[in-house]
Amino acid sequence: MKDAGDEEPPQTLFKNHYFEGLSAVSWADTTLCAVDPCRPMSGFYSLYPAGDDGGYLDDLVAASRDVLETLENYVAVQPMVTFFAALYAEMQSIKHLSPEIRETLMEQWFALYSGEELPKGAGIYKLISGWGELALENLCRTGPACFEVSFRRGVSRLKWWEFGAAAGSTLGIFSLISYAARPGCSAWVNGAASASGPGDRPSSVGHGTGRGCAGPTSGKCPGCVGSAYFPWICGLHILLDYFIDQAEDLESGDLNFVSYYDSMQDAAAALNRFTCMSLEKAEALFSSWIHTAVVRGLLAMYLSDPKVKACGLSQYARQLAAQGDAGWLRRMCAAVRRIARI
């Protein structure tokens, strides 16, 4: 692993880098404010001199907070949502830095989550000082214990670029919020809060073993949902995206996680592993058909894209879709694309 200990401070690392049309915003503040209605809103552009966007970003964050405040059960899933949002913000903060340092810092960031010790001068510590703390540190205080165990186990099975891919998906956030929006979910989401005393970590009924849930909350609690989506479903989502974008990312100089596999055969094998694990985890969740549909929908949508054929990936696409029992859905998506020319 290269040493980035002597790199520039975070104030200059963000200069001249862009993401979705917004120039070098403070990812942690923006993303966390959007999912935490109580977090103070200020300084979204503090690390970038351009500054004013006419109030667009403030309005966007405020709209998200307004919606979340209408969800009666949001408080029960908020620790998990906040974790996913913070992890996403951390990854984006690193991924869109200078190409000369981003890979080293991504490796160091992953090392922190996998329990590896780094030199005190490692560059990642300079970024963390700006974030305040790692996402996992906050989750260990406020989130469900079952997810922490599952998270550490999952991370131990990943490469650094697979961890980065999983962190880059927002599907876990959407899934948790959708659970909180269900009228009939109050019994299990509120159980997470009522099972703990003041100041205690939330722990849903049946979390005594530390290996997952049992009893009435099995497959339903926020920790169970988070464990299915991270790293497997989230990782599959972003790896598929990068799988079909390899040529254009190479041309534009963007960091592409799939490019770190030694070969396309290795990349396809990894995608196959993520597909199998995603379906296995999805089938264990409450209303499993929704989550398995998400997995198969990802396979069908990405692997039917015209870029697959243009990049010579059709054989891999057919095999991956078949492995996920999504071959028929992929063909349907391909037909729709031809008709709609998308």
Task: Give yes or no for a contact between 240 and 299, defined as CB atoms under 8 angstroms apart.
Answer: yes
Whole-angstrom distance, CA of residue 297 vs CA of residue 197 = 40
Report CA-CA distances (Å) from 145 to 53, 75, 173: 40, 17, 18
Position 26 scores a pLDDT of: 64
Position 49 scores a pLDDT of: 60
Least confident of 88-92, 131-135, 247-251, 302-306: 131-135
Residue range 190-233, pLDDT digits in tens: 554 444 433 444 444 334 333 345 444 456 688 889 999 999 99
Position 118 scores a pLDDT of: 87
Q: What is the mean pLDDT of the chain?
A: 81
The structure tokens listed for 211 are: 């290996």
Residue range 165-190, pLDDT digits in tens: 999 999 999 999 998 887 756 555 55
**Angle, CA 166 vertex, CA 255 and CA 250 arms, to 5°:** 15
pLDDT tier at 342, thresholds 50, 70, 90: low
Contacts of 61 (CB under 8 A, 6+ apart): 30, 33, 34, 41, 44
Task: Give yes or no for a contact between 164 and 114, defined as CB atoms under 8 angstroms apart.
Answer: no
Position 10 scores a pLDDT of: 44
Position 70 scores a pLDDT of: 92
- Tell me what percent of the chain is helix, strand and coil, each rounded to the nearest 5: 65, 0, 35
Give percent above pLDDT 90 in the chain: 47
Whole-angstrom distance, CA of residue 259 vs CA of residue 273 = 17
Concatenated DSSP letters for 99-126? HHHHHHHHHHHHHHHTT----TT-THHH
Position 210 scores a pLDDT of: 34
Residue 96 has pLDDT above 50, yes or no: yes
- Taking each helix axis from N to C end, the angle separating 74-95 and 124-131, rounded to the nearest 10 degrees, works out to 140
Concatenated DSSP letters for 66-79? HHHHT-TTHHHHHH
Whole-angstrom distance, CA of residue 227 vs CA of residue 150 = 6
Residue range 15-61, pLDDT digits in tens: 433 333 233 346 667 888 999 998 888 777 765 666 677 788 888 99
Strand partners, 23: 18
The structure tokens listed for 31 are: 């993303």
Exposure on the CB side of residue 46, measured as CA atoms within 13 A: 12
Q: Which residue has the tokens 């951390």?
A: 90
Position 34 scores a pLDDT of: 92
Give Cα 204 distance to the centre of its chain: 23
Contacts of 259 (CB under 8 A, 6+ apart): 242, 246, 249, 250
Give Cα 321 distance to the centre of its chain: 22
Query: What size, in residues, is the chain?
Result: 342
Whole-angstrom distance, CA of residue 62 vs CA of residue 286 = 31
Report CA-CA distances (Å) from 167 to 86, 158, 164: 9, 12, 5
Position 67 scores a pLDDT of: 94
pLDDT tier at 87, thresholds 50, 70, 90: very high
Residue range 113-161, pLDDT digits in tens: 998 888 888 888 877 776 667 887 877 777 778 888 889 899 999 999 9
Whole-angstrom distance, CA of residue 108 vs CA of residue 4 = 9
Whole-angstrom distance, CA of residue 275 vs CA of residue 303 = 13
Residue 240 has pLDDT above 70, yes or no: yes
Strand partners, 22: 19
